Amino acid sequence: MSVWQHGLFLLCVGLATFTQNLTGFAFGLVLLGLVAQFHLVPLTVAANVVTVMVLVNAAMVVRRWPRLPSPLPIAILLSSLVGVATGVWLLSLLSDHAMNELRVGLGLAILVCSSLLILKEHRRERISTSASFALFGWLSGVMGGLFASAGPPMVFHMYRQPLKREVIQETLVLLFAVNAVLRLLLVAAHDSFDMPSARLSLEALPVVLGLTWMARRYPPRWSPASVRRVVFVLLLVAGGCLVVPTLMTLVRSLQGVFA
């Protein structure tokens, strides 16, 4: 990477950190979307950086076990661990043989998550079953393994529950931490955490810590609706820039076949 590419990467990290502080979960999606759009580093390297940053953030925040009914935390964590293993396996498979498919998958995931941000919250009257939490935990794990962005499925599910915001945040932060630890162990065991991943993680660390500290000390006075709109547009652009070029290439290829 050249000097300007390193600078652009840190700018992407800063934008992703700002988004994370506004939404609580979008760091990985924004960073991966921007990195992929500008072709700065391979998605596998960027996902490793996201994993380290999520783990560092969780280490600063996690203080206690989530105050959920007793079966739910276990169901969430165990299913998410299975999902992480599945996602890492898919990543190793796709990154070697289907990079375009991986980019489209990431783009579609970003588009879906951007849509979730503007949906109105419809809270349930009673808490969902353990099976539903396990399902969303598994989906979050798969996204965490593939893109180091485990948040959106479980965020969507948790915020529909009749739970206090503190309980939701405790659960999500612990889920992110557990997923990040397992993902880091798996990629290290497969020799997928290379020197570029380590160097870029060290570069990103001061930016993430500094902006997070500033956001906590001087929180932006934006309304929740404004936050959702801004992040929705950002994610929509990032996801569309990944999906549209690949689909246009596919359409041109099909036109050539049937011409």
Sign of torsion over alpha carbons 191, 184, 152, 231: negative
Q: In the prediction, which pLDDT does 9 show?
A: 94
Q: Is 175 within 8 Å of 140 (Cβ atoms)?
A: yes
Domain positions in the chain are 3-250
pLDDT band at 98 (very low <50, low <70, confident <90, very high): low
Q: Is 168 within 8 Å of 161 (Cβ atoms)?
A: yes
pLDDT in tens, 182-239: 888 888 887 778 899 999 999 999 998 898 888 878 877 777 667 667 767 777 776 7
φ/ψ region of 5 (left if φ > 0, alpha if ψ in -120 to 50, else beta) reads alpha
Residue 258 has pLDDT above 70, yes or no: no
pLDDT band at 88 (very low <50, low <70, confident <90, very high): confident
d(CA 50, CA 44): 10
pLDDT band at 121 (very low <50, low <70, confident <90, very high): low
Q: In the prediction, which pLDDT does 69 show?
A: 80
